[in-house]
Structure 1
Amino acid sequence: MNAETKTAARLTDEFFHASQARAFASLSPASLSLAWLDWAMHLGASPGKQIELLRLAFDHQRELGQYLVECLKASGDPSTVCVEPPETDRRFSDPAWCKWPYNIMHQSFLVTQNWWEEATSDMRGVSRHHLDQVSFWARQLLDMASPGNQLWTNPVALDRTIQQRGMNLMRGGAYFLEDIVRHQAGMPVAGADKFRVGHDVATTPGKVVMRNGLAELIQYAPSTETVRPEPILLIPAWIMKYYILDLSPHNSLVRYLRDQGYTVYCLSWKNPKDEDAERGMDDYLREGFFAALDTINKIQPGRAVHATGYCLGGTLLAIAAAAMARDGDQRLASISLFTAQVDFSEPGEIGLFIDESQVHMLEAQMQRRGYFSADQMASAFQMLRSYDLLWSHVINVYLLGERRPINDLMAWNADTTRMPARMHSEYLRRLYLNNDLSAGRYPVAGRPVSISDIRLPMFAVGTVTDHVAPWRSVYKLHQLYPGELSFVLTSGGHNAGIVNEPGHPRRHYHIRERRPRDPFLPPDEWLAKADLQQGSWWPAWTQWLAGRSGKAEAPPSPGCSDCPSLGDAPGRYVLEK
């Protein structure tokens, strides 16, 4: 077979796979089919498991039958239930679900859910990835069938409809049409227009002092008469707009750091288009982190930098710091990583969407587009938290007719970005599939880097309910980095745990410092020994930074002769759609 024939065959396959990805919402049917087949074949060859599940089904039906009898005896309102929902399950928390016949409906649903949890767990012989996929998709299908999602089986929605004579459904229908129109037109979600970038959020004053084809660097104006000599460089992930670190004035991390007497710089990534398809991870290192560091060195020569990375920006920082350690580059004073993974062997439920078949399908689709779209990422995150991000919205907005106002964090979350095809493919393959960084195989400038080479003090933050970077995965940094490490586990999720300003109610965190010669503690043992503190972790972090900073001095001027001001913050790139 000649080269032209092979090329034609490859292009034909790519076109077919891209079309398949569009038809299946970017999910690989081969991957899903293999997972279900693996589970079904092993279940079929496990008579003991079949008997166990059959017995469990009989037990559940017997318990449900007894509960039905108790309901009839107690006029539909027994004092007990046969299945208690998990503490985190809020779907049936309203007292209306305890009334007949809705108590039977939701108890039947919970019984079925329990059976499927048992059926899709502890199946010997099935690969861990396939078993996790089957369990996940079984939950998704069950969530779709929940009685709370249907008008006629949801007592709360029915009561509201009767009380308001259907006006809630009229409002819900109007909201549904509005959401469709906004989505099709590429408009922000309803209510997001109250949080305009540069007017209501991202308002901390500053100047853009660097701009290239991939990123801008913002230098923020000081708010104190003196500042620490070591500036702080914030590196956000490029899968999000940077201003999560500079939201409203009351919860802006940038503003908080500035008010604590630090010179703050922050990268703002370009929202890539199809012409950026060939930009890879090396480009984000070179034109992002290292370009920003070079600019800071021109503005504040001789000053070491407190580098801080958030999410994927933290992974990028870890890679860059390892390369600097390898090359003897000593321009950093410390490293701080927020919800950032460096070992992807246990990435959490996001790993359900990452295997060879899935990545190949995404690559075929990105080859046609040139980028990974924001809608694809939003869909994946919605499925990871289907009740919180999807079904609760359907119930509250479309059935109950309640459009609750959104906050600044929700508006930011809807201000989505894209990712270049090459970068996203390298990111998925090198980090998730191959786990090259933790294995010391990740190449920078053609040579591998190792996290173990880093000798700078490090501060890391994980969040309790993180679905993107689970804290136990973030904690694996302890096994790769041998130096001084302060680790914080804070309440909240991937975003809300980081936007954690002082004074926010019901916040707490655990903190513990690991010295270079201390023995390794497994995560659960660490949690048992770590100090529990109430409130925000921000003051603990700035206190940690202060202990690794010099005496205060006059603040630097904005920009320099080689890096003049290119405009006011928040800059140009953050406004791109």
Structure 2
Amino acid sequence: MTTDEENAPETAPALQDNIRKIEELSQRLIAALSRRAPAHPGLQGPNQELYTNAATAYWSEWMHNPAKLLEHQITYWSKSLVHFIEAQQQFARGQLAPPEDTTPDDPRFSNPLWKTHPYFNFIKQQYLIYAEAMREAVEKIEDLDETEKRRLRYFSDQIVDMLSPTNYLGTNPDALEKALETEGESLVKGLENLVSDLEANEGELVVRLVDEDAFEVGGNLATTPGKVVYRNHMFELIQYAPATEKVRETPLVVFPPWINKFYILDLKAQNSFVKWVTEQGYTLFMVSWINPGPSYADVGMEDYIEDGFLAAMREVKAITGQERLNVVGYCIAGTTLALTLSLMKKRGDKSVRSATFLTALTDFSDQGEFTPFLQDDFVDAIEEEATEKGVLSSKIMGRTFSFLRSRDLVFGPAVRYYMMGETPPAFDLLYWNGDGANLPAKMAIQYLRRLCQANDFAEDGYELMGETLRLRDVDVPFCAVSCESDHIAQWKDCYRGFQQTSSRSRTFILSQSGHIAGIVNPPSKKKYGHYTHDDLRLDHENWRAEAEFHEGSWWPRWDSWLARRSGKWVPARKPGDSQHPPLAEAPGTYVVAPPTD
């Protein structure tokens, strides 16, 4: 007599082995999660007041205009029910096919089975009907101010994206097909990736976006030759070796953001801004900021200005023997450069001949896509966290930036690496993006409270270092470069800020692409173009409508602008001098050092 077990097909040895591996990895997963430290609850989402206000507004709308909300609910129910009936009718006809699918194209649902297989198609269409209903429900709430509406829109979108069927193994045809093709090996590799990421981050889930073993700072990244010629508790100053026999007389100093590392401007040789600048004949200095630890808790914006910006300018003038110099500030360093220029005007310091601002915000009256995170509930939680730890952790900032593009930087990668077992790519830009730095507690709080929330610099003035610093004090010739699809420093907001300066020589360039790709855009790639227009009196919409488009990188245009402000040609300068002997080879020690104690 045979039994059901005797008649059952044998499990393939490879599949059995993979099942055992999954059981072993599950134990490591539990152990990794047990090490996770409790996170500050205020950093996990908005406080309940947002949802309470939304519910109150929704209920008020129901009381005053029930027909409107009933219409919305009935529309959702009818769409969902009609689709269910159509699917049932297909089955009743004996057809293993989905009903007509008129849903818009969505890269998440690119597998043909989402259109052809009745099970997957039914799930997809029901999800998209729900997603549309959720968005409409949010838009129909009227008794919320615009800030709360923007926050509710953002957080509801996060919930909708999280619930996408592509995020779950049982409803993701790509992951299921891959598991069958590999006899479960893809799931084993995916679980290994998940466990490794949890173990590397003390139980905190941070999706690894890049193959970290493929890069080394100073090895195949940040390789432009140079020397560290000065060092203090805030930064190392790198002077790059000349690439031409003669150089422009006026030196150039670049201040990168200290949220990340400076080598975004010196990635691989073929897309290195640093290398390209030296090849155009400039004496280039780069500030490499320290990665602060808890001992830097009381370091504020004033320290970054006095012991950072002004100290670097002082040393560059001493090394080159020049009384004036050109400066560049990128992102938050561009914001701080504007503060520094205002302070220098108050002090009568005319050392800066020209300034270049890369994706730099100076007017925060519109908080853009950061609106959900710049309200008091989040900022209060950040202040508490930073005050307790002494720093605002790079992980918190990295997670915030990632969730501004959660489909591309959270959910999508999690599916590929955890459910399909793919290996993260060897992508230099993503490697840099994951190599963040902490912010000192005092500085982070000043930045969030005084600049982002109160907008002091652009409005009543920022009281700092015994002076009232105002945006309108900035009067040096400047070139500002912003990026068309930048979601961190939206170009229209950057433009509005630079309109408020009092400089008589103002140049604004709008590059195609985003916060990084629009800046790191070497001419050799011939990839992204840029827009220019001389009249900065126009509002941003008219400026963009009338601007002239130019093919290719903005770098050569900026070089022509800078060359006119860089003096005559002089013999090339070797890094350092007798008072500034080389302390280390570029890229220096601060860029690879762990956070200070």
Normalised to the residue count of structure 1, the TM-score between the two structures is 0.90
Aligned to 1:128, which of 140, 146, 153? 146
Tell me what 1:44 maps to: 59
Tell me what 1:233 maps to: 253
Where do residues 293-332 of structure 1 align in structure 2 (5 Å cutoff)? 293-332=313-352
Equivalent AA in structure 1 for residue 473 of structure 2: D
Aligned to 1:392, which of 412, 424, 437? 412
8 Å contact 1:347–1:470 — kept in the other structure?
A: no
Tell me, yes or no, if structure 1 residue 563 matches structure 2 residue 584: no
How many Å separate the matches in 1 of 2:66 and 2:238? Answer: 61
Equivalent AA in structure 2 for residue 137 of structure 1: F
Tell me, yes or no, if structure 1 residue 333 matches structure 2 residue 353: yes
Q: How many percent of aligned residue pairs carry the same amino acid?
A: 34
Tell me, yes or no, if structure 1 residue 118 matches structure 2 residue 136: yes
How many Å separate the matches in 2 of 1:90 and 1:49? Answer: 38
8 Å contact 1:440–1:451 — kept in the other structure?
A: no
> CA 1:478/1:575 → structure 2, altered by over 3 Å: closer, same or farther?
closer
Tell me, yes or no, if structure 1 residue 148 matches structure 2 residue 166: yes
Unaligned runs of 5+ in 2: 1-36
> CA 1:457/1:93 → structure 2, altered by over 3 Å: closer, same or farther?
farther
SS in 2 for 1:382: helix
Tell me, yes or no, if structure 1 residue 434 matches structure 2 residue 451: no
SS in 2 for 1:503: helix
Aligned to 2:263, which of 229, 243, 251? 243
How many Å separate the matches in 2 of 1:429 and 1:452? Answer: 20
Tell me, yes or no, if structure 1 residue 377 matches structure 2 residue 423: no
Equivalent AA in structure 2 for residue 526 of structure 1: W
How many Å separate the matches in 1 of 2:211 and 2:41? Answer: 27
Tell me what 2:97 maps to: 76
- Indicate the larger mover: 526-535 or 292-301: 526-535
Aligned to 2:75, which of 30, 36, 59? 59
Tell me, yes or no, if structure 1 residue 96 matches structure 2 residue 133: no
Equivalent AA in structure 2 for residue 560 of structure 1: D
8 Å contact 2:527–2:553 — kept in the other structure?
A: no
How many Å separate the matches in 2 of 1:239 and 1:424? Answer: 10
Higher-Rg structure is 2
How many Å separate the matches in 1 of 2:446 and 2:351? Answer: 27
Cα displacement (A) at 1:292:
0.3
Tell me what 2:428 maps to: 408
Tell me what 2:592 maps to: 575
- Indicate the larger mover: 235-244 or 469-478: 469-478
How many Å separate the matches in 2 of 1:94 and 1:49? Answer: 42
Give CA deviations for 1:268-322 in whole Å, capped at 9, x if unaligned. Answer: 0011111111000000001110000000111122342221111101001111112
How many Å separate the matches in 2 of 1:196 and 1:189? Answer: 16
Equivalent AA in structure 1 for residue 350 of structure 2: Q
Cα displacement (A) at 1:124:
3.0
SS in 1 for 2:523: coil
Equivalent AA in structure 1 for residue 165 of structure 2: P
Tell me, yes or no, if structure 1 residue 543 matches structure 2 residue 552: no
Tell me what 2:232 maps to: 212
SS in 1 for 2:524: coil
How many Å separate the matches in 2 of 1:210 and 1:68? Answer: 70
SS in 2 for 1:218: strand
Equivalent AA in structure 2 for residue 145 of structure 1: L
Where do residues 483-494 of structure 1 align in structure 2 (5 Å cutoff)? 483=503, 484-494=505-515
Tell me, yes or no, if structure 1 residue 444 matches structure 2 residue 451: no
How many Å separate the matches in 1 of 2:532 and 2:210? Answer: 39
8 Å contact 1:26–1:376 — kept in the other structure?
A: no
8 Å contact 2:98–2:122 — kept in the other structure?
A: no
How many Å separate the matches in 2 of 1:22 and 1:438? Answer: 38
8 Å contact 2:210–2:427 — kept in the other structure?
A: no
Cα displacement (A) at 1:456:
1.9
How many Å separate the matches in 1 of 2:270 and 2:113? Answer: 38
- How many correspondences in the alignment? 548
How many Å separate the matches in 1 of 2:184 and 2:437? Answer: 38
> CA 1:274/1:252 → structure 2, altered by over 3 Å: closer, same or farther?
same
Tell me what 1:282 maps to: 302
Give CA deviations for 1:472-503 in whole Å, capped at 9, x if unaligned. Answer: 22121243124332222222222222211123
How many Å separate the matches in 1 of 2:534 and 2:575? Answer: 36
SS in 1 for 2:508: strand
How many Å separate the matches in 2 of 1:90 and 1:310? Answer: 33
Normalised to the residue count of structure 2, the TM-score between the two structures is 0.87
How many Å separate the matches in 1 of 2:149 and 2:394? Answer: 28
8 Å contact 1:341–1:469 — kept in the other structure?
A: yes
How many Å separate the matches in 1 of 2:338 and 2:314? Answer: 17
Cα displacement (A) at 1:218:
0.7
SS in 1 for 2:107: coil
Tell me what 2:369 maps to: 349
Cα displacement (A) at 1:78:
4.9
8 Å contact 1:502–1:535 — kept in the other structure?
A: yes
Tell me what 2:191 maps to: 173
Tell me, yes or no, if structure 1 residue 105 matches structure 2 residue 123: yes
> CA 1:159/1:460 → structure 2, altered by over 3 Å: closer, same or farther?
same
SS in 1 for 2:591: helix
Tell me what 1:17 maps to: none
Equivalent AA in structure 1 for residue 71 of structure 2: R
8 Å contact 2:40–2:385 — kept in the other structure?
A: no
Cα displacement (A) at 1:505:
5.5
Cα displacement (A) at 1:22:
4.6
8 Å contact 1:36–1:130 — kept in the other structure?
A: no
Root mean square deviation of aligned Cα: 2.3
8 Å contact 1:133–1:352 — kept in the other structure?
A: yes
Give CA deviations for 1:403-430 in whole Å, capped at 9, x if unaligned. Answer: 1422111111111211111111111111
8 Å contact 1:53–1:115 — kept in the other structure?
A: no
How many Å separate the matches in 2 of 1:213 and 1:393? Answer: 37
Cα displacement (A) at 1:65:
4.3
How many Å separate the matches in 2 of 1:462 and 1:492? Answer: 10
> CA 1:51/1:211 → structure 2, altered by over 3 Å: closer, same or farther?
farther
Tell me what 2:437 maps to: 417
Equivalent AA in structure 1 for residue 573 of structure 2: P
How many Å separate the matches in 2 of 1:494 and 1:101? Answer: 40
Tell me what 1:27 maps to: 43
Equivalent AA in structure 2 for residue 115 of structure 1: A
Cα displacement (A) at 1:378:
1.5
How many Å separate the matches in 2 of 1:534 and 1:68? Answer: 50
> CA 1:329/1:27 → structure 2, altered by over 3 Å: closer, same or farther?
same
How many Å separate the matches in 1 of 2:69 and 2:135? Answer: 11
Cα displacement (A) at 1:175:
1.7
